[in-house]
Chain A
């Protein structure tokens, strides 16, 4: 597979198997904190951290965990990791923590994390689980950023980012002149709307891929049938020729 193709497949993977837009998992935090790029990145990094580590730990202890208590075990692991992230965020990035608020703790109940532990990590090796966690975390972050980008630009007119440790602004670009922003995008309504439109776009994209695949399959089938018919014809002809020769 060429690099370009791999890139393409990574991207379509992100879209098609997107836990947020595709499977509707982890929506709560996606909607709630997607008001600025900073929040999105902070949340995304936290989720990636928890997801990768929980996947690794779960895959490590999966074999010694009896089935009946696997859920509590996973939950304890995840809750420990989340508490840890929460403490670190609160200590070193207080500003970010105060805007993410309760949603940091709610990473515990983010369906993506327990879902991946259950569906993937407990059945696969450490390396594969880590990679799966990273991929899932990245596509979650990607979705979060997509929503945040739209909401922040339309809602405040400014695209900005700041260093979460020092609160210093890294850049701020005013893209919409002041007075022309659409404040509703800062509100809950805006979150739902943005999400709906992006989800619809992903669905449409998915459908076009499916259609293409179906089309390709159909063509392949037709080609195969044609080839078969031709082969049969050829065989027939050959048979006839052989008969003739025999005769």
Chain B
């Protein structure tokens, strides 16, 4: 595992194959939370933590339990349960240590369970055949890309609130237009590595 391939994974995860813009994953929290910069950062960190923890656990689960037992078809059920349990844990942790963050993330914290990015990363590590180190790198890079988008978006949307957009486009529709333009911008990263 060379440094360059780690770098490739990181740049690929954050910029080139940004989950939000290329795979449309995590759109629900993306549209919901990206209205304020502070909650965007909080959400981003929470997601990063959850993804890293749950992906590594899922990887271990897959290669040390499911694979030896030949019950790979239980992958989806076990992964999602593992993620749900892990989220529960983070929720309890945040509630106790940062009530203000808990308040601002509100409903979206339990919804991390249903954040597609979490499940996607856990499964992607398996389908791509990554080893443990690659899994760890990938599980940090992808949610960082997600967080990057959240932050960029939050800042844009703070400005958008003051913009004069057509009535029907107010709120989420204009945000999707912005996402479309961002997607064009991010295609420029293709071929970076």
Closest 7 CB pairs of A and B: A196-B176, A192-B180, A204-B168, A31-B24, A27-B27, A200-B173, A200-B168
Of B51-59, B114-122, B144-152, the stretch lying at the interface with chain A is B114-122
> Is B23 an interface position by the 8 A CB rule?
yes
- Name which residue of chain B comes closest to A190, CB basis: B180
Residues in A80-133 with C-beta less than 8 Å from chain B? 80, 82-83, 86-87, 102, 105-106, 108-111, 114
> Is B27 a contact partner of A109 (Cβ separation < 8 A)?
no
> Is B28 a contact partner of A193 (Cβ separation < 8 A)?
no
Residues of B within 8 A of A (CB): 21-28, 31-32, 73-77, 80-81, 84-85, 110-111, 113-116, 118-120, 123-124, 127, 166-177, 179-181, 183-184, 187
B38 to chain A, nearest CB (A): 21
Which listed residue, A27, A79, A187, A204, touches B80 by the CB 8 Å rule? A79
> Is A75 an interface position by the 8 A CB rule?
yes
Which listed residue, A25, A27, A32, A108, touches B76 by the CB 8 Å rule? A108
**Distance A183 CA – B85 CA, assembled complex (angstroms):** 43
B85 to chain A, nearest CB (A): 8
A201 contacts across to B, CB distance below 8 A? 168
> Is A207 an interface position by the 8 A CB rule?
yes
A-B contact count (CB 8 A): 123
> Is A75 a contact partner of B168 (Cβ separation < 8 A)?
no
13 of the cross-chain contacts (CB-CB < 8 Å) are A24-B31, A75-B80, A79-B81, A83-B77, A86-B76, A187-B187, A188-B21, A188-B24, A193-B180, A196-B174, A196-B179, A196-B180, A200-B173
**Distance A188 CA – B186 CA, assembled complex (angstroms):** 10
> Is B23 a contact partner of A32 (Cβ separation < 8 A)?
yes
Query: By the criterion of a CB under 8 Å from any partner CB, how many residues of chain A are at the interface?
Result: 41
A29 contacts across to B, CB distance below 8 A? 24
A55 to chain B, nearest CB (A): 16
> Is A87 a contact partner of B73 (Cβ separation < 8 A)?
yes
> Is A241 an interface position by the 8 A CB rule?
no
> Is A195 an interface position by the 8 A CB rule?
yes
Residues in A149-198 with C-beta less than 8 Å from chain B? 187-193, 195-197
A210 to chain B, nearest CB (A): 12
> Is A72 an interface position by the 8 A CB rule?
yes
**Distance A86 CA – B74 CA, assembled complex (angstroms):** 12
> Is B81 a contact partner of A75 (Cβ separation < 8 A)?
yes
B183 contacts across to A, CB distance below 8 A? 187-189, 192
**Distance A165 CA – B157 CA, assembled complex (angstroms):** 45
**Distance A133 CA – B161 CA, assembled complex (angstroms):** 35
> Is B120 a contact partner of A106 (Cβ separation < 8 A)?
yes
A32-B24, A109-B113, A111-B111 in contact; A24/B172 too (CB < 8 A)?
yes
A27 contacts across to B, CB distance below 8 A? 24, 27-28, 31
> Is A76 a contact partner of B76 (Cβ separation < 8 A)?
no
